[in-house]
Structure formats: C-alpha cells, structure tokens
Amino acid sequence: MAHGGDVYSVGNEGREVFWNAPFPSELILFLFAAIAIAICAYGFYLRWQMWKAIGLPEKRTDEPGERIKSLLLNGLFQIRTFKEAYPGIMHALIFFGFFVLIFGAAFDATHFHLPFLVPFFNGGFYLGFSFIMEVFGLTVLVGIVLAVWRKYIQKPDRLGYRGKADAVADDAIALLLIGGIIITGFLLEGFRLYVNINVDGYTWGGWSFVGYAFAKTLTGISYDTVKILHKLTWWIHAFLAFGFIAYLPFSKLIHIVLAPANQYMKSLKPTGYLEPIADFETAESFGVGQLENFTWKQIFNSDACLKCGRCQDGCPAYLSGKPLSPKKLHQDIKQYWLERAPVVMAAKKAAKEGEEPVIPEPEKVMVGEVIDLHELWACTNCMYCMEACPVFNEHVPMITGMRQYKVLMEADFSPELQLTYRNMENNSNPWGIGAHMRADWAKEVGVKTLAEDPNVEYLFYVGCSGSFDDRGKKVTVAFAKILKEAGIGFGILGEEEGCCGDSAMRGGNEYLSQTLAQMNIDVMNGYGVKKIICTCPHGYNMIKKDYPHFGGNFEVYHHTEIIADLIAQGKLKLKQPVEGLFTYHDSCFLGRYNDIYEQPRKILAAVPGMKLSEMERKHAKSFCCGAGGARMWMEEDIGDRINDMRTDQAIEVKAETIAVGCPFCLTMMSDGIKDREMEEKMKALDIAEIVWEAMGLEEAEMVEAPEEKAPEEDAPAETV
C-alpha cells in the first residue's frame, strides 16, 4: 500500500492501518490473535466448569432492573471503588482509560476490515479520535504509575497479610502487561509519526500529542532504522496485547469479568441477611463443614476477590492482631477450591451416563484445615468488609455458615459460648439470670405489661441487656421515662419477653436462635403487636429482618429513631445544657446494618451545650466495639482488645463522653474506659441517658458512671 499522498491529506486526515507491516504480518497477527483468544476462551471454559463443579444452588438473577443498576453504578461508574481516594482514582484511570482504548482498538479494526460500517473514520472525526485515544492512553499510564507507586513504594499493609505481600508475580505481570501495552503503543506511534510527518507529509501528527512529542525527539536517526524499530515495537505491542488476552482468565486480570459479574449478582437482601435453616427435622447436615456446603455464589465470591484488601483495612479482628482477615479467608477458600474443583470435575467426567459420579472424599475440612478455628471465631459480624468490598463479596454469611457447622453438627465451640447458649435455653438470656427477673426494672418506673394493658401503640422490646445488665437497665429506665414524658403509649412483655436470638444466630446456633425467635413471635402476635421499639440494635435488627421468616411481621424502630422524631415534633424539650466534649460511636448493627447514622447525631445536635468531636472511623467506616457476632460472650485472648482500641480512638479526639446507641457498645466502651484507667475523665452513655439528662427533669444521678455488678437478689437498699 502506498503511503499517504492522495488518500490521506488535509481535509481527509487519517492514517494507514498496518503501516510498515507488509504481508504476511497481518496474517501472522491474526493467527496469534486467534491463538490468544482461544487460550482466553479455554481459560474461561475451564473456569466455568470449575464454578459449576462445586456449590449449592442459589438464585442470583432475579430483579434484573436492580442488578443492572448495580452493574452500572459500581461497574461502569465505579461508585464503590471511588469510596477511597487514592486507590479509587488509580483504578478509575486504568479502568476508564482501558475501557476507551479497547473501544478505540475495536473501532480501528472495524474501520480497516469493515470500512462500510465506519465510513466516517477520517477527517475531523479521526483527529478527535486520535486525540481522545492519546488522552486515555496517558490516563492508563498515570494509573499504572500510581499503582506501581502504591504497590512497591507505599506498600500498604492491606496489599498483604501481616507484612507479607500477596500475589507478587501475578501483580507484577499484570502491571507489566498493561504498562507495556501503553508504552509500546506510544513508542510505535512515535516511530510511525516520525516517518509520516517527515516523509509522508502528514501535517496532523500533533493531534496524537504523546507520540508526536516522542517523534520530535528522534532527530538524526535514519528513517530505515526507525522503521525497523517501529516494526520491532509493533510486534512487541501486539504480543503484549495477546499475552494480556491469554493471561486474563488465569490471573487477577480475570476481575475484569468477575467484578462486574459479582456486582450484577450482588445480594439484594437486607444487610446482614442470613438465610434461615428451613428444615431441622430431616436435614442431615447443617452449616458449612466442607467446601461443597457453600453455595456456588459464595465460592464464586472467593474467586472474585482480587485481594484489594479494603476489607482488611477496617476489620476489627485483623487490626487487633487476630488471625482473621476477610481477604485471607477468601483467598484460602479460593486456594482450596482451585485444588478441589478439578478433582470433582474429573470424577464427574469419569461417571458413566446416567450414573451418580463417585466424588472422592474431601481432603480438607473447612474449619481447622482450610480456615483456622481462631479466624472463624474472631469475626464480630461488624459488616465493615461487606460494606467496603468493591465486588460485593459476602464474607459474613460464609463465616456464619462455618460457625453453624461447628456448633450444630460438632457442638465443638468455646466453653463460654456453650454456657451462654445453655443460659439462653434455660433462662432466655445470655447471663442465665432467672427469667422471672426480666421486668424488675419496670417496677421503679411503673411501666405496664401488655398483659396488663394491651391497648398501646408500641411494644417496647427491652431485650436482655436492658432487662438484666445493671448498666443496660439504666438506659431502659431513661428511655421509658422519655416515652412517658412524651406521652407515647407503650407497654412491655415483662416476663413473657425472651432473648431475641441474635447472638445465637450469629454464633452459629441457628436452632436455638429460631426457637427463641419463635417464642417471642408467638407472644407478640398473641397481643396483636404492630409496632416495636428496641433500645438494642441487635434485637432491632433481628426482629426487623429475621422475624419475618418465622411469621413475625412488625414495624420496628430503634429508640434513636423514636427520640429523633419526638424532638423534631417538639414533644421533647431539651433544656439542661450538657458539659464536656462528646463523641459518637456508631454501632455496627445500627449504622452499617440499618443505615441509622443521622438520627443519633441529630439528637445530639439538639442537646443544649453539645460539643461533638467525631472520631476518624465513623459512619460506614466506623470501628466495631468488639461485641457483635456473639463475641460479646466470648473471651478475647488473641491480640489487643477491640474495645480498648476503640476507646483509644475516642481518647484521641479528647472525648469526655462516648455516646452510644447500643447496650453492647455501652458495655464495651465502659470496659475500655476502665482498661485505659480513664474513669475519672471519661464515661460512656447511651443517647437515651443523655437526652433524659438534658430534659432536666431529674437529678443528674443517672449519669454518674455506674459500677457494673451482678443484679442483687435481695431487696434493694432504701434511702433514709
């Protein structure tokens, strides 16, 4: 083909495709392209077989509208990825750049092979196109530089596990491939332009400004030399691209497909949703004891994890020195799946038509061999990982599944949790305090039970902490007084109330949890309860999201929602100014689980004299107190205490009061303050206590930091 001249001139700008690549370059190129694509297709075929090989069924294709929305927002617009600035921008530069470049390349190819489809690929359009390609090429390059800087210079902990970097070779290859494709692309463009502008008379080289700038530096080299260099670079560029295609399904690059797939197939259930076990009577196995007991989607999650480590960055277990890292959990499961899936596939292949395949017994059990026991039990179910994961992996239900196996099948779990469960069984509360003492607090306030007066708007579901824990009872009393003051009609279940079942469920004891839930639901339905207020976010979450599975359909409110509402309506007058600096600790089960971030803050803002100093980890990035996921009832003997770490964060912002909206958090923060010997200077208070104090209707007696002690069995002291 002739160079430039008649075909490409001013007014009909363009360039010759396959310039300096005479026959049979094109043929060789297509041959290798075909090979690369075949390898890629084979890789995906293999992967597809592996995904199909193991895992229980689970439907993830319902509600396509919602799913497409998630795909567009999180895949195309990178919403989740952008939640962190540096990695967000870094990824976006590479992603958007590559996205445009791939379309560009496809455009180029179409123009060459099917010119009737893009007859306009010249003139102004071509120039604009060239310019855009140049910009996005640069974008990718900047992204790659940022990635290299991050990976090799900054070396954030989350790109490894306890100082040991992940995926050293794979990461390097991926960066080299992408970076190489872009750099060789610019180089060969420069080589071509050097000849084009000097020999062929192209005047529009400047639109390809990067290649043009490079071409301008090439003075004094013979055109033939440059053409050789161009040819060489051209082939390197082509083979890097083929390498990229062929390597894709076997490397972290597969995320280009898996990430959007997972964003499309994300859980549309409420946060923290756990699929209830439907059949205790006839099922033979419960929970996840083997890889095979995970759903296909859960295994797919592990494959979709590309080790970005965002989960690990806010995981209270990991940060406090426990062996759990949500990332490592996924990677360990993936590693075992990579070993196990081919075995299962081979067995299925070997089976004769119509016969059940004989699948060899698994070589490893999930807990103890694939996942360490301490990893499993370190999780506080705080939901940070799931909130942070850019590909919407679902770590917590996988952990609960494995816990279920240990608890329900093997009854092999910590003695202190066994005691907790026995206590829940016998007295319907984790402490095992006599169930008849559940409503003792109410005597002081004069709150009626629904048995005494069922004609009330709200059931106040007090929960175990609010009923039995001395500290929790003070919150209950404060809140009951607030409701009375606001003239809200409410009642309690009294001795008919039972444990909500959250700690049993999250600790893997689904059987106990459902038993407890059912008892409460039967009582609540018996009274025709419609609206429920909870002071404990664990009960709130459980009743709201899990009770509907068992016939309990209620409108459920957290007390901060109710108080915020009452303040907005002017039904509560806050007139007594508070003193000192406050901080607010977001409870996981309130914040990440139920998106209640603003109500508590609005309440605090309405308190006269309020000075609020927020901790760095707040809102969706809040740091757990350490008590969720049944951790409240377990010893914490590895690493630092999570509650102490959280207390340190409050101390850092010089808070004198840690405001909370959860009795577990209240206990944990109070203990943290004691551990840090800050009792003289700091205290933890529930929002309800702060509001009741600010209402100024009582002596400030209730805000004195109280001693925690076991409830007394004998008659209370009287004041003379």
Partner 1 sequence: MNIVACVKQVPDTEALIKVKPDGSGIDEGGIKWVMNPYDEYGVEAALKLKEANGGEVTVVSLGPARTMETIRTALAMGADKGVHITIDGADAYNTAAALAAAIKDINPDIVFCGQRAIDDDSGQVGSVLAELLGIPQVTIVTGLEVADGKVKAIKPIEGAQLVIESAMPCVVTAQKGLNEPRYASLPGIMKAKKKPVDVKDAAALGISIEPKAKIARMTPPPVRAPGKIIAGDDPAAKAAELVKLLREEAKVI
Q: How far is CA 691 from CA 30, 475, 578, 703, in A?
A: 73, 11, 10, 11
Q: According to CB under 8 A, which residues from 555 to 614 bind partner 1?
A: none
Minimum distance, C-beta of residue 507 to partner 1, in the bound complex (Å): 12
- Which CB atom, from 412 or from 708, has the smaller least distance to partner 1? 412
373 lies in the binding site for partner 1 (CB under 8 A): no
Q: Which stretch binds partner 1 (CB under 8 A): 421-429, 516-524, 668-676, 680-688?
A: 421-429
DSSP state of 632: G
- Which CB atom, from 413 or from 633, has the smaller least distance to partner 1? 413
- Which CB atom, from 52 or from 422, has the smaller least distance to partner 1? 422
- Which CB atom, from 106 or from 283, has the smaller least distance to partner 1? 283
- Which CB atom, from 61 or from 719, has the smaller least distance to partner 1? 719
Beta-carbon count within 10 A of 353 CB: 4
- Which CB atom, from 6 or from 712, has the smaller least distance to partner 1? 712
- Which CB atom, from 182 or from 407, has the smaller least distance to partner 1? 407
699 lies in the binding site for partner 1 (CB under 8 A): no
433 lies in the binding site for partner 1 (CB under 8 A): yes
Beta-carbon count within 10 A of 210 CB: 20
- Which CB atom, from 433 or from 556, has the smaller least distance to partner 1? 433
Residue 166: partners with Cβ closer than 8 Å, 6 or more residues away: 159, 160, 307, 309, 327, 331
Q: Which stretch binds partner 1 (CB under 8 A): 218-226, 266-274, 413-421, 546-554?
A: 413-421
Residue 414: burial class (beta carbons within 10 Å; 0-12, 13-18, 19+): middle
Minimum distance, C-beta of residue 621 to partner 1, in the bound complex (Å): 37
Binding mask 244-283 for partner 1 (x = CB under 8 A): ------------------------------------xx--
Structure tokens that stand for 637 in this block: 């003997």
Task: Rule CB under 8 A: choose which of 52, 155, 162, 422 binds partner 1.
Answer: 422
The identity of residue 491, as a single letter, is G
62 lies in the binding site for partner 1 (CB under 8 A): no
Residue 306: which of 17, 95, 14 has the closest Cα?
Answer: 95
698 lies in the binding site for partner 1 (CB under 8 A): no
Task: Rule CB under 8 A: choose which of 410, 457, 579, 708 binds partner 1.
Answer: 410
On whether the CB atoms of residues 53 and 345 are closer than 8 A, the answer is yes
Minimum distance, C-beta of residue 361 to partner 1, in the bound complex (Å): 19
Nearest-Å Rg of the Cα atoms of the chain is 32
- Which CB atom, from 473 or from 559, has the smaller least distance to partner 1? 473
- Strand-strand pairing, 657-660 and 458-461: unpaired
- 3-state DSSP assignment of residue 53: helix
528 lies in the binding site for partner 1 (CB under 8 A): no
Task: Rule CB under 8 A: choose which of 427, 594, 622, 657 binds partner 1.
Answer: 427
434 lies in the binding site for partner 1 (CB under 8 A): yes
Q: How far apart are the first and last CA of the chain?
A: 110
What is the C-alpha separation between 103 and 93, in angstroms, rounded? 16
148 lies in the binding site for partner 1 (CB under 8 A): no
Q: Which stretch binds partner 1 (CB under 8 A): 133-141, 259-267, 660-668, 709-717?
A: 709-717
Residue with tokens 């299962």: 344
707 lies in the binding site for partner 1 (CB under 8 A): no
Structure tokens that stand for 321 in this block: 């020195």
Q: According to CB under 8 A, which residues from 184 to 243 bind partner 1?
A: none
9 lies in the binding site for partner 1 (CB under 8 A): no
On whether the CB atoms of residues 195 and 234 are closer than 8 A, the answer is no
700 lies in the binding site for partner 1 (CB under 8 A): no
- Which CB atom, from 284 or from 616, has the smaller least distance to partner 1? 284
Q: Which stretch binds partner 1 (CB under 8 A): 54-62, 159-167, 416-424, 686-694?
A: 416-424
408 lies in the binding site for partner 1 (CB under 8 A): yes
Binding mask 499-518 for partner 1 (x = CB under 8 A): ------------x-------
- Identify whether 24 is preceded by a cis peptide bond (ω within 30 of 0): yes
* Cα 246–Cα 142–Cα 88 angle in degrees, nearest 5: 85
Q: Which stretch binds partner 1 (CB under 8 A): 50-58, 221-229, 401-409, 520-528?
A: 401-409
Minimum distance, C-beta of residue 446 to partner 1, in the bound complex (Å): 20
* Cα 204–Cα 208–Cα 211 angle in degrees, nearest 5: 115
409 lies in the binding site for partner 1 (CB under 8 A): yes
Residue 396: partners with Cβ closer than 8 Å, 6 or more residues away: 272, 379, 381, 383, 385, 386, 629
Count CA atoms closer than 13 A to 297's CA, side-chain side: 19
714 lies in the binding site for partner 1 (CB under 8 A): yes
Structure tokens that stand for 252 in this block: 């972290």
Q: According to CB under 8 A, which residues from 445 to 504 bind partner 1?
A: 495
- Which CB atom, from 137 or from 289, has the smaller least distance to partner 1? 289
Task: Rule CB under 8 A: choose which of 411, 605, 697, 700 binds partner 1.
Answer: 411
On whether the CB atoms of residues 61 and 300 are closer than 8 A, the answer is no
- 3-state DSSP assignment of residue 687: helix
What is the C-alpha separation between 634 and 418, in angstroms, rounded? 10
Q: Which stretch binds partner 1 (CB under 8 A): 379-387, 405-413, 439-447, 555-563?
A: 405-413
Minimum distance, C-beta of residue 696 to partner 1, in the bound complex (Å): 22
Residue with tokens 């108080």: 563
On whether the CB atoms of residues 616 and 649 are closer than 8 A, the answer is yes
- Which CB atom, from 222 or from 282, has the smaller least distance to partner 1? 282
Minimum distance, C-beta of residue 415 to partner 1, in the bound complex (Å): 6
701 lies in the binding site for partner 1 (CB under 8 A): no
Q: Please give the size of the binding site for partner 1, defined by CB under 8 A.
A: 31
696 lies in the binding site for partner 1 (CB under 8 A): no
What is the C-alpha separation between 399 and 382, in angstroms, rounded? 12
Residue 499: which of 422, 428, 427 has the closest Cα?
Answer: 428
284 lies in the binding site for partner 1 (CB under 8 A): yes
What is the C-alpha separation between 564 and 426, in angstroms, rounded? 37
Cα 397 off chain centre by: 12
- 3-state DSSP assignment of residue 657: strand
Q: Which stretch binds partner 1 (CB under 8 A): 125-133, 189-197, 230-238, 415-423?
A: 415-423
532 lies in the binding site for partner 1 (CB under 8 A): no
What is the C-alpha separation between 179 and 353, in angstroms, rounded? 49
On whether the CB atoms of residues 682 and 655 are closer than 8 A, the answer is yes
436 lies in the binding site for partner 1 (CB under 8 A): yes
What is the C-alpha separation between 213 and 194, in angstroms, rounded? 10
Residue with tokens 């016939």: 551
Task: Rule CB under 8 A: choose which of 426, 489, 553, 573 binds partner 1.
Answer: 426
Residue 226: burial class (beta carbons within 10 Å; 0-12, 13-18, 19+): buried
What is the C-alpha separation between 557 and 531, in angstroms, rounded? 8
Task: Rule CB under 8 A: choose which of 392, 413, 460, 461 binds partner 1.
Answer: 413
356 lies in the binding site for partner 1 (CB under 8 A): no
- Which CB atom, from 168 or from 411, has the smaller least distance to partner 1? 411
- Which CB atom, from 253 or from 433, has the smaller least distance to partner 1? 433
286 lies in the binding site for partner 1 (CB under 8 A): yes
Q: Return the exposure string of 628-667: e unless at least 16 CB atoms fall within 10 Å of the residue's CB, then b.
A: bbbbbbbebeebebbbbbbbebbbeeebbbbbbbbbbbbb
For partner 1, the binding residues (CB under 8 A) are 280-281, 284, 286, 407-411, 413, 415, 418, 421-422, 426-427, 432-437, 495, 511, 714-720
